[in-house]
Amino acid sequence: MITVPVHRRFSDLDPLGHVNNVAYHDYLQEARVGLIGELALVSNAEYAQIVVRQEIRHRRPLGYAREPVLIDVWISEMARTSYTVEYRIRDEAGEIAAEATSLLAVVDAETGRPVRIPDEVKDALERSRPA
């Protein structure tokens, strides 16, 4: 698991002064790139990784603050062609504002069809899983 700080932008706010639900998807992307981007195995000429499904459970609103939200992100499950990324979004006081999951698939770079997770990707993802 790693923790990725993400700064809120004024443009993330809705008319009520809360971070708009659409902005949460951007925050999750930042955290996911922070996790798998470090692996240097996101894509190449043979394969790519794509988001298949993403779910967010909002627990409390996020308002604007100069301090970043902190997103804990980790790999929770691995299958033959896909894996699950989990997130916990915490506000500046450390309170959980949302929890989320993303299902990612590894696909052939040319056809877009699912392929078995390459061993080097699987090994790297396994190393990033919580003990």
Residue 38, pLDDT score: 66
Report pTM.
0.90
Residue 115, pLDDT score: 95
One DSSP character per residue, 37-58 reads GGGT-S--SSEEEEEEEEEEEE
CATH number of the domain at 99, please. 3.10.129.10
Residue 130, pLDDT score: 77
Work out the burial of residue 42: count CB atoms within 10 Å of its CB; fewer than 13 is exposed, 13-18 middle, 19 or more buried. Answer: middle
- Looking at the structure of the chain, the number of domains it has is 1
In sequence order, what are the beta bridge partners of 48?
107
Residue 92, pLDDT score: 93
What is the C-alpha to C-alpha distance for residues 83 and 105, in angstroms, rounded to an integer?
A: 7
Residue 37, pLDDT score: 73
What is the C-alpha to C-alpha distance for residues 131 and 114, in angstroms, rounded to an integer?
A: 28
Residue 41, pLDDT score: 65
Contacts of 118 by beta carbon, 8 Å cutoff, 6+ apart:
41, 46, 47, 106
Task: Give mean pLDDT in consecutive 10-residue pieces for the chain, a chain of 131 residues.
Answer: 94 94 96 80 79 97 95 95 96 97 94 93 82 70
Which amino acid, 61? P
Contacts of 11 by beta carbon, 8 Å cutoff, 6+ apart:
none
Residue 123, pLDDT score: 86
Residue 31, pLDDT score: 94
What is the C-alpha end-to-end distance of the chain, expressed in Å?
A: 9
Cβ neighbours, 10 Å, residue 82: 18
Structural domain span for residue 102: 2-127
